[in-house]
Amino acid sequence: GAGVSQSPSNKVTEKGKDVELRCDPISGHTALYWYRQSLGQGLEFLIYFQGNSAPDKSGLPSDRFSAERTGGSVSTLTIQRTQQEDSAVYLCASSLTAGGPNEQFFGPGTRLTVL
């Protein structure tokens, strides 16, 4: 079946604008994760969903970042009033369920550039 998909693949925006990033997890996967990867840095955990609820939002770097998931499927990550330091690749991953050996399958990412 299809893997995790993300859109857009690339997004260039101006400082101060809002952006929405979309993630379509693998069908049937109940857990969904957002990470970001900055140049030369490791992947940074942002938030995860089990179903539609987000048990832990502690990784979100500021209150400009928010995420939602509806219908236990698609998720959107919204960044308001973007700043240049928000430039990174935003990766989404899904797994069958949370915890245990369940591997996380990653999408191709959205490369965000804030000018």
Partner 1 sequence: GQNIDQPTEMTATEGAIVQINCTYQTSGFNGLFWYQQHAGEAPTFLSYNVLDGLEEKGRFSSFLSRSKGYSYLLLKELQMKDSASYLCAVRDRWGGGADGLTFGKGTHLIIQP
In the complex, the residues that contact partner 1 under the rule CB under 8 A are: 4, 31, 33, 35, 40-48, 50, 55-56, 58-59, 91, 98-101, 103-109
Taking the complex as a whole, the smallest distance from the CB of residue 17 to partner 1 amounts, in Å, to: 25
Cα diameter, the chain: 41
Specify which residues 32 forms β-bridges with: 49, 94
- Cβ closer to partner 1: 9 or 78? 9
For residue 43, CA distances in Å to 7, 27, 90 come to 19, 24, 9
d(CA 44, CA 109): 13
- Cβ closer to partner 1: 71 or 100? 100
- Cβ closer to partner 1: 18 or 68? 68
